[in-house]
Amino acid sequence: MTAGPASPTIPPDIVDAAIGWYVRQASGQMGSDEQLGLSRWLAEHPDHLLVWQRLQGIGQQLNEQRSVLPPASTRSIFRRLPDLERRKAVRLLSWLLLGSGSLYLGRDHLKDAAFPADVRTAIGERREVRLADGTLLLLNTDSAVDIHFDQNRRRIRLRRGEIQIVTARDAADRPFWVETRDARLVPIGTRFSVHQQAETSLLAVSEGAVEVFGNGQPNALRVAAGEQLNFDGRNSHAEPLDESRQAWTDGMISAEGRRLDDLLAELGRYRKGYLGCTPEAGELRITGTWPLRGDDPTEAVLTSLERRLPVRIQRLTRYWVKVEAR
């Protein structure tokens, strides 16, 4: 998409106003009255919405880099960079994802200011959404959530898949929780992720703590930073946090002395069809980190496995792949 004649020119005062809103919203300090003001402003005129979506698109464009490099690395690269030569009117030739993608985000954004919203990802897709209160919600592949924010509470329902949440302090002090199939999770100033698997759920807490109210359980369990909890409706089992399982939040897949069958199970979530292995191959162990980026990132991982382990990849079709011991 280019900034050519096809993109309508918006009056500068509207652009300025939208930038003001955007910058307020990114502050992490926006109050509920301001949120309401933003929703009203967006509803006032189609141009407001259009310029808002463009700004969201710019943010989204930046976020694309998350899948190739950790954000902290990108920032440090730009710090190493000498001041770039200034040029007049840089024309950008192509901007990926500024079309429908940003529109979608813009709509989500609008909705979660006042109404329930659905956000979902396709297989192999990851998406980041900043909620109206400043909370960051990251959806892994094949995931879906409902967002219910109103004047009294902030509630997120995990319908499918895996999410990471970095909570923000709410100016209106509304309670925040995440509902899953197996429990209600109440974060206490935190960064955590939860993965709803076929039988159980896995809660991983990187910062702060999370209180877990299991369905039908009288007492809450507290999971602190550096711990993870495997649980279903009845039972739970705590263990030290496995950081490598959180690599997806940086757009990576990672393993440390991990069993191959276990790694393939995770990898299979990022592609369509069947991905399995023979029992002998499944017992092999591997250490490594691979980026989840591009059209078919899982193929690159499989190629790498074939190079590094005594295995052969058997492909019946694109959607049926089995890893065998050599």
The region of 52-60, 111-119, 215-223, 266-274 touching other proteins under the rule CB under 8 A is 52-60
Residues 158-197 that bind other proteins (CB under 8 A): 166, 168
Span 280-299, contacts to other proteins by CB under 8 A: 288-291, 293-294
Task: Choose between 61 and 197: whose C-beta lies nearer to other proteins.
Answer: 61
Residue with smaller CB distance to other proteins, 30 or 284? 30
> Under a CB-based contact definition with an 8 Å cutoff, are residues 114 and 43 in contact?
no
Q: Quickly count helices (H) and strands (E) in the chain.
A: 8, 16
Tokens of 314: 């058997």
d(CA 13, CA 32): 24
Tell the smallest beta-carbon distance from residue 232 to other proteins (Å): 31
Q: Does 142 bind other proteins (CB under 8 A)?
A: no
Side-chain-side CA neighbours of residue 86 (13 Å)? 1
Backbone dihedral angles phi then psi of residue 205, each to the nearest 5 degrees: -110, 120
Q: Which stretch binds other proteins (CB under 8 A): 59-67, 199-207, 279-287, 314-322?
A: 59-67
Is 69 a binding residue for other proteins by CB under 8 A? The answer is yes
* Binding positions for other proteins, 248-267, rule CB under 8 A: 252
- Give the residue, chosen from 54, 127, 154, 258, that forms a contact with other proteins under the rule CB under 8 A: 54
Characterise 84 by phi-psi region: left (phi > 0), alpha (psi -120 to 50), beta (else).
beta
Q: Determine which residue in the list 31, 40, 43, 71 makes contact with other proteins, applying CB under 8 A.
A: 71
The Cα–Cα gap between 78 and 108 comes to 31
List, in sequence order, every beta strand (DSSP E) within the chain. 117-120, 127-130, 136-139, 144-149, 154-166, 176-179, 183-196, 201-214, 221-224, 227-231, 236-240, 252-259, 274-277, 285-291, 311-317, 320-325
Please give the residue ranges that form the binding site for other proteins (CB under 8 A).
3, 7, 9-12, 15-16, 19-20, 22-23, 26-29, 54-55, 58-59, 61-66, 68-87, 89-90, 92, 95, 130, 134, 136, 166, 168, 252, 288-291, 293-294, 300
